[in-house]
Amino acid sequence: MSGSGARYILQPAAQVGGELAVPGDKSISHRALMLGGIASGRTEIHGFLPSEDCRATLAALRAMGLAVEEHSATVLTVHGAGPGGLAAPAQALDMGNSGTALRLFMGLLAAQPFDVTLTGDASLRQRPMERVAQPLRAMGAAIDTEDGRPPVRIHGGRPLTAIDYALPMPSAQVKSAILLAGLYASGVTRVTEPAPTRDHTERMLDGFGVRVERAGASASVAGGQRLTGTRIDVPADISSAAFFLVAGCLAAREGLVLRNVGVNPTRTGVIDILRLMGADIRVENARESGGEPSADLVVRASALRGIRIPEALVPLAIDEFPALFIAAAAAEGRTELRGAAELRVKETDRLAVMAEGLGRLGVRHELLPDGIRIDGGPLSGGTVDSHGDHRIAMAFAVASLRARGPLEILDVANVATSFPDFVPLARAAGLAIS
C-alpha cells in the first residue's frame, strides 16, 4: 500500500493465536548501520529491519560513499570507512519520516570535514531539532535549523570539545547524538539523564570496542576512540511486538507466542504496564547477543483493568502508548497517563490523534496537556484517521478485536516506515484485515 489514500478495512475478529516473528528492531538497525559505517573493518548485520526508515539511513550512508552489501532483505555487510572516511554527499540527505535517523546523524556528522544538509518528509520537517542542535553547538558544531525544525544544515570542519550535559528531558535520541559527537571531541563527553531511556547506543558502542563509562544516570565517552567492525544480531522490535502483545491480552485464549523479541530493560515498559493492568505475559528462553537481551514472549487473553500508569515507566514505553491506549479502552475502569508530553512531538501529536480516534469509536476519554484519561468500555465500529502515523494505524487495527462493527483506518501508507509486513502478520495472527 502506498500513497495517502491507503487504508485498512477490518472486520471484528474474536481470537488471535499461533507463533509470530515480528521484524527486527528499528532503533538497533539504525545504529548498527551508522556505527558500522564509521568503524574500521567489516560489520555483519543479521535481522536488519528493511523498513523505509532504516533504508533512509542506508541510502544516506551510501550517498556519503559507504559500501554496503545486501545479501538478503535482513542480512547486510557494511564495509566501514573508519572515523574520517565518509565523503561529502552530492545533495541533501533525505531521512524520510525518521526522526531517529536525522537526530543521530546530527551527532555523527557534526565533526565531519564537509557541509551536509539533513531533511525529511512533511511530517519530519515539523519535528523539533533544537534540543539536539543546542548541545552540539556547545561542543563547537556549526548547525542551523529552520525555526527549530528541519532542514538541518551542518557546516563541517569545526573541531569539537567535550561537554558535560544534563538532558532537560529524557530522550535517547538526544543522548545518542551527543555521545556520537563525543567520539570526535577532545576530552570526555558526559550525558546525564533525568530518567532512564533506551541504551542501545551505549551497548552497541561497547560491542564495537568503545569504552563507555556508566555511573548512575550518566554515560560518558572519551574522544578519539576507534570502532572495530563486528557482528550485530538484531532482535525483534518490542515496539512492533507491542501491537500483538495487546492483541494477545484481548483475544489469545490459547496463547500467542512472539519469538526472539528484544527485552532490553530500557524498553520493556510496555510489558510492565500491561502486567500492572492484569496481563498474563511470560518471558521465556532469555538469551543475549551483542549486549542486547532477547526472549520469547507468551501472552494469553486476560481481564485487563484500568490503572494510573507510573510516570517512571513512561520513558520506557514512549513508542508503545498507541497500543497501550487500545488496551486501556478495552480494560475495566479508568486508565490515566501523565508525564507524557513527549507524545505530542512524535510523528503526530499522538495524544490528540489517539484521543480523536478513540472518540470516533465511542470511547470516553479526557485529553490532558501531558497525558490522557481513558474509560474502558465497548468500542463501536467506524472510521479513524491515523494522520499518517504508523503506530496509530496499527493500534486501531488491534482495536478491531473489541469493536462491534467494521473499522476503516485512513492514511496507513507510513506503516511501511517501521513494519512493512504488518498486514500479513496480522492476518496470520487472526485479524480480519484487508
Q: Which tens digit of pLDDT belongs to each residue from 398-423? A: 999 999 999 999 999 999 888 989 99
Quote the pLDDT of residue 1: 34
Is residue 2 in some structural domain? no
- For the stretch 93-127, pLDDT in tens is 999 999 999 999 999 999 999 999 999 999 999 99
Q: Which pLDDT value is given to residue 428?
A: 97
Instruction: Please check whether residues 89 and 196 belong to one and the same domain.
Output: yes
- Overall number of domains in the chain: 2
Q: Model pTM? A: 0.89
Domain stop point among 189, 209, 233: 233
Catalytic, out of 237, 296, 319, 385 = 319
What the block records as the C-alpha cell of 282 is 511470560
Q: How many CB atoms lie within 10 A of CB 14?
A: 10
d(CA 354, CA 291): 35
- Give yes or no for a cis peptide into 151 (omega within 30° of 0): yes
The residues, any chain, with a CB within 8 Å of residue 5's CB and separated by 6 or more, are none
> Which residue reads 545486501 in cell numbers?
70
Does 1 fall in a domain?
A: no
Same domain, 245 and 287: yes
For 297-332, b where at least 16 C-beta lie within 10 A, e where not — what string? bbbbbbebebbebeeebbbbbbbbbbbbbbbbbbbe
Domain check: are 202 and 293 in the same one? no
| 276, 307 contact by CB (below 8 A) | yes
Residue 157 grid coordinates: 570542519
Q: What is the pLDDT of residue 347?
A: 85
Are residue 244 and residue 149 in the same domain, yes or no? no
Q: Is residue 390 part of a domain?
A: yes
The residues that bridge with 189 in the sheet, in sequence order, are 221
Q: DSSP label at 403?
A: B
Task: Please check whether residues 275 and 195 belong to one and the same domain.
Answer: no
Residue pLDDT, tens place only, 270-326? 999 999 999 999 999 999 887 899 999 999 999 999 999 999 999 999 999 999 999
Are 51 and 16 found together in one domain? no
State how far the Cα of 213 lies from the Cα of 222, in Å rounded to an integer: 9
403 with 379: CB under 8 angstroms?
A: yes
Ranges 2-11, 137-146, 152-161: which has the least confidence: 2-11
Pair (174, 281) in one structural domain: no
Q: Does 130 share its domain with 279?
A: no
DSSP string of 296-348, one letter each residue: EEEEE----B--BPPGGGGGGGGGGHHHHHHHHHHSBSEEEE-S-GGGGGSSS
Check pLDDT > 70 for residue 3: no
Evaluate if residue 352 carries a pLDDT over 50. yes
When pLDDT is cut at 50, 70 and 90, the band that residue 230 belongs to is: very high
For residue 416, the model assigns a pLDDT of 87
* pLDDT value of residue 291: 82
* Distance, CA of 389 to chain centre: 13
In a domain, 105, yes or no: yes
Residue 233 among the catalytic residues: no
**How far is the CA of 166 from the CAs of 169, 218, 291, 414, in angstroms?**
9, 9, 25, 34
Q: What are phi and psi of 363, to 5 degrees?
A: -85, 125
Q: If you average pLDDT over residues 204-216, what whole number do you get?
A: 96
Position 109 scores a pLDDT of 98
pLDDT at 341 over 60: yes
Nearest to 363 by CA among 373, 352, 372, 376: 376
List b or e across 335-347, with b for residues whose CB sees 16 or more CB atoms inside 10 angstroms.
bebbbbebbeebb
* pLDDT higher than 80, residue 2: no
Task: Label residue 345 by pLDDT band (50, 70, 90).
Answer: confident
What is the spatial distance between Cα 52 and Cα 43, in angstroms, rounded to a whole number? 21
Q: How far apart are CA 331 and CA 379, in angstroms?
A: 11
Report how far Cα 173 is from the mean position of its chain's Cα atoms. Answer: 10
Closest CA to 106 of 179, 6, 196, 208: 179
**pLDDT tens figures, 21-75:** 999 999 999 999 999 999 999 999 999 999 999 999 999 999 999 999 999 999 9
418: nearest Cα among 161, 20, 37, 57? 57
Quick one: 224 and 116 in the same domain? yes
Strands of the sheet containing 7-11, edge to edge, are 382-385, 407-410, 7-11, 432-433
Domain end marker among 233, 260, 293:
233
| Predicted local confidence at residue 4, as pLDDT | 60
Model confidence at 166: pLDDT above 70: yes
Residue 142 belongs to a domain: yes
Residue at 255 is within a domain: yes
**Do the domain assignments include residue 272?**
yes
Q: Are residues 297 and 155 in the same domain?
A: no
Residue 147 amino acid letter: D
Residue that terminates a domain, selected from 233, 255, 282: 233
Does residue 115 fall inside a structural domain? Answer: yes
Same domain, yes or no: 62 and 41 = yes
- CATH value at residue 364: 3.65.10.10
Share above pLDDT 90 across residues of the chain, in percent, rounded to a whole number: 94
Domain that holds residue 95: 26-233
Residues 364, 398, single domain; the answer is yes
